[in-house]
Structure 1
Amino acid sequence: MAINQYDGYAQSTPSRQRQPMTNGVGESEIQVLCGPLINLQHMNYTGRTPTWHGTVLVVTKPIGTTPHLHYGPAESRGESNTVEGLKLYEDPDKAFWRFSLEVPLSETQAQWTYHIPSVRFLSDVNQKECTRSFFVPGAADSMRIMFHSCNGFSVGTDEDFWSGPALWNDVLRTHEQRPFHVMIGGGDQIYNDGVRVKGPLRQWTDISNPHKRRQYPFDNKLRSDCDQFYYENYVRWYSTEPFAAANASIPQVNIWDDHDIVDGFGSYRDKFMKCAVFRGIGGVSFKYYCLFQHHTAPPVSTFTTDAPQTMSATGQGTAGADPRQTENTYVYKRTADDPSWIVGKTPGPYVEERSRSLYMRLGKRIAFCGIDARTERTRHQVNYPETYELIFGRLEREIAEANGDISHLILLLGVPIAYPRLAWLENIFTSPIMGPLRFLNKRFGVAGGLFNQFDGEIDLLDDLDDHYTARQHKTERRELMLRLQRFSQQHSIRVTILGGDVHLAAVGRFYSNAAHDTPAEHDPRYMANIISSAITNKPPPKAVANLLARRNKIHHLRDGNTDETLLDMFNEQPGGQMKGAANNKATMPSRNYACITEIPEYGSQTETNPHMNGYSHQSSAGNTVPVQMGDTGEEGKQRPTHDSKKGRHPLHEGEVNAGTNHVAADGVSSQGTLKGGLNVSIRVEIDNRSRNGETAGYGLASKL
């Protein structure tokens, strides 16, 4: 045994794994198991030259040398930069290497290339030293954004019938037409649900008695088996084309959701969520979420019931070291958290780690914030109150330091926040009338397909409990929206919300109610919720989408000032394929993803954006008056009647002709009259039997 000392933890490592292979000319050959994967980490606008910071990750067989990566402008004849790999993690089977890239922004968009010499890709033995490329925006431009969610298949789905991840072909075609600078993953970038069906938790989920399932131990053997499952599932999925090609050429920014762990994680009953198995897979999934999706080092150990030091998190969120887990293993000791992270103060209730929300610039005028709404989630909360304080505190500081450059905030939530209510369905599922059926299910397995294999509740209940519109989340939802409204008003910044999870496409909007007579272009309450889901998983049945459309009423936020509803934007069926009812123009049950492109202000993206000192609107007398926002938090008894069409029909010129006839529908256009706003295209799959992934586009513009 050779003892190797690193910058992080020192562990004993077998000498045999240090023997490198050669390529026949004396150089060490790097056997790549997965990757490369490219991420956007952050952007720096404080210096004289704005700078893009990103990382490239590869997973290799253990090697005896440190790999290098070369990168430079695509138009240059030779590579101009060389960086050493930073080892994040290594065990006898694999090593994770991160390469940090720093790219100065030039006056216009630029293409950069990178490659790692002396590599052999084990997924394709004929592929060696392939050069990849990516694009960065001009110094005065904002990024072109691709948004997706639910990138995997639920258990039992016929993946061949749905042509696998076919829509990624369309993503790459759109990227070739006009490059994306960033790819935002809204959660469920991978589906790990198979861990309970064909993986090491099968024996546990087969236990019929819920009490015995709660008491089941999660020892080191089960942890190791789950660790292997999660790792292999990541390698399989992240090496699957054409998703793998997108991973290598469009920098990613991700937050996680339940399927990145297991279906419904966080939304089952508290006493069941606290069981050892859930806490155990929470730790294992977090480990590989850190490595594959964020290119950062994982905790040194994760939860097991036979190592007491791992069973309770420290103030930093990392469990105590377990010698069995660190044997023959190296974990990089982080010296600082990623600058894009907003780290929660205390660990989650079921994951022994602190939440990691995100903040970064997406070019000159767009700020991005992604809320980690899974680490702290329970059936009765989405995030701790102190986490919201951290997030809004970070936003306030960043806006102040940007000196007026930021005009748009894109907020990422894993689950839509402007969405039809299904309270009546919740009431049925939780009512006493379900008691006899629940009893028969527990005793005799009656209606087995209706109940989940975890806590014995109705299977759809965890999905309903996940929604911000669920009754237990309504107060938290209202407070979040009121705070966003105040932030928008105080800083004259438009807020656009991204959400996924629900496996269909839609656009919800919040806006001031009729009593305010406020045009949307001057309304700080106007916020569009772009709902894009799923890019890979199958959509819900037509009947579900049509039901949601029928439930698309004009809802009143309990502040007395704000209404919300979905926009009628699906003016026709994609490619003539009937995805929903002819009269359903609000929800689209077909696989999809979204493209977001800034509309240049005054015809040039380099011109200064003249900011208003707060929002205002024209009164009926023609005078400009400031918009006043109430902070009561409760709606009044006398609500003015509202035009039944307003809200479903266009609220401003960017929503006029929303759908296939809108200029934004093609997914690449930056044309439009809403200078400084955002063109949004939802690209909807036409035929799931086609592996080419052809789509039809539906467009609108989000007003600045």
Structure 2
Amino acid sequence: MQIILPFQESQQSQTQQPRLEEEEEEDDDDDEEGHEGQSTLNLTRPELIGNYRMSNFYRFDIQIPMDPTDSTTITYTINQNYPFYNFEIPGISSRFRWSFWSCNGWSLSVAKKARQKLGGTNRMWDELLRQHQEQSKSSRLHCMVGGGDQLYTDLFWKMDIWVPWLTMKSHTERKNEPFTPEMREAMDEFMFTHYINAYFFETRLGEAMASIPTAFIIDDHDIFDGWGSYPDYLHSSHVFQGIKEYAFKYWLLFQGHTNDENAVAKDGYFGFEGYSWLRRFGPNVLGLGLDTRFERTLGQIVTPQTYDMTFNILYEMMAKPSHRNIRHLVVFLGGPIVYPRLTYIESILQTIRRFKAHKTQLCNEDGPCKTFNNQFGEPELLDDLNDHWTAKIHKHERRQFVQRLQEFAKKTSVRVTFVGGDVHCCGVGRFDDRSMKVRKGPADQNHRLMYQIISSAIVNTPPPKGVITLSHLGALRNYSLDENTKEIMERFFERDVNGKKLGGIMNSKLLRRRNFSTFVASSDSLAVSIHAESKPYSIFISTAYQMVIPSLNLNVQPLSAPELKVVAPNKDQYQLPPVLDIGGCGDNADSGCFIDEDEVKERASSNANTICQHPNESDCTNGRNNKDNQPRVSNDGNFIGNSFDGDVEEFKTPLSERDQI
């Protein structure tokens, strides 16, 4: 199929309808000429979704039918005089293929010489696009998932406008200093121009987005380094919150191809305040992109309300007959939820901050330890460590989240897999049953077996050898999530990309190479390949490390529509339905989970009204201005946007919203 999008910024042109023209599969000569027979599909006019000064953001929403079995190549252009691009629409029953990558940019500390030594910015992008373009039609990527840090915005702190605020000595002054109109103008201009440069001039991300549908989650560098993991006097300050506003404005426009108004009402984003999504990746996979930044504070990653909404939606979807063939839930997180502990370093830095040693002359601007502090006067590494799911401060939240996913897997026979980036290396970890009998038994009967795929970075430099050594030290022992679950880092890399044997427990769990990963889903497994960068100037750009994640095959009854409301109190104890159970009950939830009264009262009060019951969609307001404490959900219950539903032979893909997979 060929789509022609007539577009000029004039009132007359905006009334023209885009045209979709049929073309024969074999007739490659006519790719750029089109045909006379026009489709009657509903091709909407371009919609203005945002602007910066004289630049406007438009999007086209286009619905494309799916073939029952084969992929369909879609060729499109704008005004018929721009380059022609194409992308693949999978068949309804075809295996879904996607890639995952993260960290598409350079940290400020990486010198130009170091970048060149690695082979430059686009070496792994060239490899990803080569693999996609050289594959046969049936083996091309249907989607790519950006796992956060799609660009690095930290450069804006070098602007002079922030100097007076950064040099304030008083925490109270910094917290209360207004976000001035001049600051707003500076952030608006910076974010717009930085996205333009990052997408279209610095990396090949823009080229990839033109030919591979996308789904993005946000991480800290899309806002700035460490966002959400700073002390409250910084995080709650007017300046930090003002920066966040512009970061999310342009994240929605450039990465989500939407705006705040449409994100929930039309495009399937959900969350008490943030922008999480749940999308179908072919017939057998659900992908959950969890927003771990909008609601983040030093003490929490995601609000309880958003967790409850997530599990309500998951159970509601799995109760539909059209979703009975879902075998995998892939949870995309900015950072890995299984990763080596660095608790000893974390404890040292917390102690230093507690006793304000970082405020001494040693760490001042002219002191010998001046690099110990960041530009905010806080220990430089502490925000990075607090950013990790494995940090002590997030231990309880992490355990509850994983336990709820275990319960979901047990009730639905859906394998849960985590995919994350952020750490600039690759590896594989897993949660597993503590019982040797279960671990040695069939994997398709073990609902606690959840793999973690770590894939980072596609551009940024790998960590120093010393950091990887410390991480391997942290992985020497296996940790316990709870009394039923252990967590393990796999010895996944027996050899380096050049064939040299790594071996040993101090080298084989994390590989310090730039990388991306690819996934192929089927009803009985999820095939994973981590493509690690070979050394510069070698013949082969990447080496693939492969594994297969088996599906679950539990004997479960089909779910009926779950009860979504919190149960009223019953004298001395409360009983929460499994959908809203925070997760501390583990395997006892089936037989009735009774927990401490005060704890449940607190949860019940915080989790009430987690589903919008208002008859009017407009009453479900944005959480940032949400006076009624209502979450942000769409009125029609379409939480996954224009996604492929198994009982409808239709694939709806807005051309400038191609992450709706």
- Deviation at residue 339 of structure 1 after TM alignment: 4.2
* 1:442–1:548 distance in 2 versus 1, CA, 3 Å: closer
Change (3 A) 1:444 1:548: closer
Measure the CA separation in 1 of the matches of 2:534 and 2:436.
Answer: 41
Deviations 1:387-431 (A, max 9, x none): 110000011111111341111111111111111111111111111
Q: Which amino acid aligns with 1:420?
A: P
Partner of 1:312: none
User: Following TM superposition, by how much is the alpha carbon of 1:570 offset from its aligned partner in structure 2, in angstroms?
Assistant: 1.0
For residues 94 and 403 of structure 1, do their structure 2 counterparts lie closer, same or farther at Cα, with a shift above 3 Å needed? closer
Query: Measured at CA, do residues 224 and 140 of structure 1 come closer, stay the same or move farther in structure 2, by a change above 3 Å?
Result: same
For residue 564 of structure 1, the aligned residue among 473, 487, 492 is 487
Query: Taking structure 1 as reference, are residues 214 and 416 closer, same or farther at Cα in structure 2, changes over 3 Å only?
Result: same
Match of 1:342 among 270, 273, 280: 270
Q: Quick one: structure 1 residues 217 and 526, their matched pair in 2 at CA, closer, same or farther if it must change by over 3 Å? A: same
The corresponding residue for 2:151 is: 190
Instruction: Tell me: CA distance 1:528–1:414, structure 2 relative to 1, closer, same or farther (3 Å).
Output: same
Residue in 1 that maps onto 2:473: 550
2:178 to 217, 224, 228: 217
Partner of 1:104: 65
CA 1:199 to 1:102, structure 2 compared with 1: closer, same or farther past 3 Å? Answer: farther
1:84 deviates by 2.1
Tell me the equivalent position of 1:179: 140
Q: Is the 8 A contact 1:508 1:529 kept in 2?
A: yes
Cα distance in 2 between the residues matched to 1:582 and 1:73: 57
Deviation at 1:577, TM superposition (A): 7.8
Q: Take 1:180 and 1:380, find their aligned partners in 2: how far apart are those partners? A: 38
The correspondence of residues 31-70 of structure 1 with structure 2, limited to 5 A, is: 65-66=13-14, 69-70=18-19
Structure-2 separation of matches of 1:693 and 1:541 = 24
Higher alpha-carbon deviation: 475-484 or 154-163: 154-163
Please show how residues 503-652 of structure 1 align to structure 2 within 5 Å: 503-518=424-439, 519=441, 520-576=443-499, 583-599=506-522
C-alpha contact 2:532 2:543 (8 A) present in aligned 1: yes
Q: What is the Cα deviation at residue 200 of structure 1? A: 4.7
Matched-pair contact (CA < 8 Å) for 1:167–1:693: no
Rounded Cα–Cα distance in structure 2 between residues aligned with 1:695 and 1:367: 28
> What's the CA shift for 1:131?
0.8
- CA shift for structure 1 position 103: 1.4
Q: Distance in 1 between matches of 2:325 and 2:190?
A: 45
2:240 aligns with one of 265, 272, 278: 278
Structure 1 residues 464, 72: CA separation in 2 closer, same or farther (over 3 Å shift)? farther
Aligned to 1:702: 549
> What is the CA distance between 1:432 and its match in structure 2?
4.6
In 2: Cα distance, 1:68 partner to 1:292 partner = 24
* Cα shift readout 1:556-582 (whole Å, capped 9, x = no counterpart): 434211111111111111125899999
Give the structure 1 partner of residue 634 of structure 2: none
1:379 counterpart letter in structure 2: L
Give the drift of 1:689.
6.8
C-alpha deviation, 1:242, in angstroms:
2.3
Q: Structure 1, residues 505-550: CA drift from partner, whole Å, max 9, x if none?
A: 0111111013543423310000001010111111101121122123
DSSP-derived class of the 2:394 partner: helix
Shift of 1:157: 1.7
Equivalent runs, 1:49-128 vs 2, <5 Å = 65-66=13-14, 69-71=18-20, 75=24, 78=34, 80=38, 83-106=44-67, 107-117=69-79, 128=81
Alignment of 1:114-193 (within 5 A): 114-117=76-79, 128-159=81-112, 160-161=115-116, 162=118, 163-176=120-133, 177=135, 178-193=139-154
Task: Give the number of the structure whose residues are more often helix, by fraction.
Answer: 2
Distance in 1 between residues matched to 2:456 and 2:248, nearest whole Å: 23
Structure (1 or 2) with the greater strand fraction: 1
- 1:152-204 CA-to-partner distances (Å, cap 9, x unmatched) read 11113235424013211011011122311011111111110111025753554
Assess, with a 3 A threshold, how the Cα gap between structure 1 residues 580 and 56 changes in structure 2: closer, same or farther: farther
The 8 Å contact of residues 58 and 98 in structure 1, kept in 2 or not, is answered as: no
Indicate whether 1:383 and 2:302 are aligned: yes
The match for 1:256 is 218
TM-score, length-scaled by structure 1: 0.69
What letter corresponds to residue 549 of structure 2 in structure 1?
S
CA distance in 2, matches of 1:196, 1:59: 37
2:6 & 2:237 partners in 1: Cα distance? 34
Superposition pairs of residues 286-305 of structure 1, within 5 angstroms: 286-298=248-260
Q: Which residue of 1 aligns with 2:371?
A: 449
Cα distance between partner residues in 2 of 1:266 and 1:367: 27
Q: Return the match for 2:311 from 383, 392, 405.
A: 392
User: Who is 2:590 aligned against?
Assistant: none
Matched to 1:448, the amino acid is: K
Structure 1: distance between partners of 2:226 and 2:263:
33
1:414 aligns with: 334
- Once the two structures are overlaid, the 10-residue window that deviates more, 515-524 or 428-437, is 428-437
Give the alignment partner of residue 677 of structure 1, picking from 525, 531, 544.
525
| Residues 1:83 and 1:282: Cα distance change in structure 2 (over 3 Å) | same
CA-CA distance at 1:142 after TM superposition: 3.7
Q: Residue 293 and residue 437 in structure 1: after superposition, are their counterparts in 2 closer, same or farther (change >3 A)?
A: closer
Q: Which runs of 5+ in 1 are unaligned?
A: 1-51, 119-127, 299-332, 345-353, 602-675
What is the CA-CA distance between 1:72 and the residue it aligns to?
Answer: 5.2
Change in CA separation of 1:523 and 1:268 when aligned onto 2, cut-off 3 Å: same
Q: What is the CA distance between 1:551 and its match in structure 2? A: 1.9
SS of 2:61 mapped into structure 1: strand
Q: Which has the higher contact order (CA 8 A, sep 6+)?
A: 2
Match of 2:394 in 1: 473
- TM-score normalised according to structure 2 size: 0.74
> What secondary structure sits across from 2:448 in the alignment?
coil
**Quick one: distance in 2 between partners of 1:538 and 1:490?**
41
Q: Is the 8 A contact 2:177 2:238 kept in 1?
A: yes
Q: Secondary structure of 1:153's match?
A: coil
Give the counterpart of 1:360 among 271, 279, 302.
279
Q: Which residues of structure 2 form unaligned runs of 5+?
A: 552-661
Q: How far apart in 1 are the matches of 2:18 and 2:542? A: 36
Name the CA shift for 1:431/1:356 in 2 (closer, same or farther; >3 Å).
Answer: same
Alignment-mate amino acid for residue 453 of structure 1 = Q
> Which amino acid is 2:326 matched to?
I
CA shift in 2, pair 1:514/1:506, >3 Å: same
Structure 1 residues 560 and 437, CA gap change in structure 2 (3 angstroms): same
Q: Is the 8 A contact 1:168 1:693 kept in 2?
A: no
1:266 pairs with 2:189: no
Larger mean CA deviation between 139-148 and 67-76 belongs to 67-76
Give 1:459's aligned residue. Answer: 380
Q: Is 1:238 matched with 2:225?
A: no
1:338, distance to aligned residue in structure 2 (A): 3.3
Task: Say whether the 8 Å CA contact 2:352–2:358 is kept in structure 1.
Answer: no
| Amino-acid identity (%) | 33
Secondary structure in 1 aligned to 2:276? Answer: strand
Once the two structures are TM-superposed, the CA of residue 64 in structure 1 deviates from its matched residue by: 7.2
Q: Tell me, what secondary structure is at the counterpart of 1:201? A: helix
Task: Read off the aligned partner of 2:349 and give its amino acid letter.
Answer: F
Please say if residues 218 and 293 of structure 2, whose CA atoms lie closer than 8 Å, have aligned partners that are also in contact. yes
Distance 1:263 1:335 in 2: 25
* Residues 229 and 475 of structure 1, relative CA distance in 2, 3 Å threshold: same
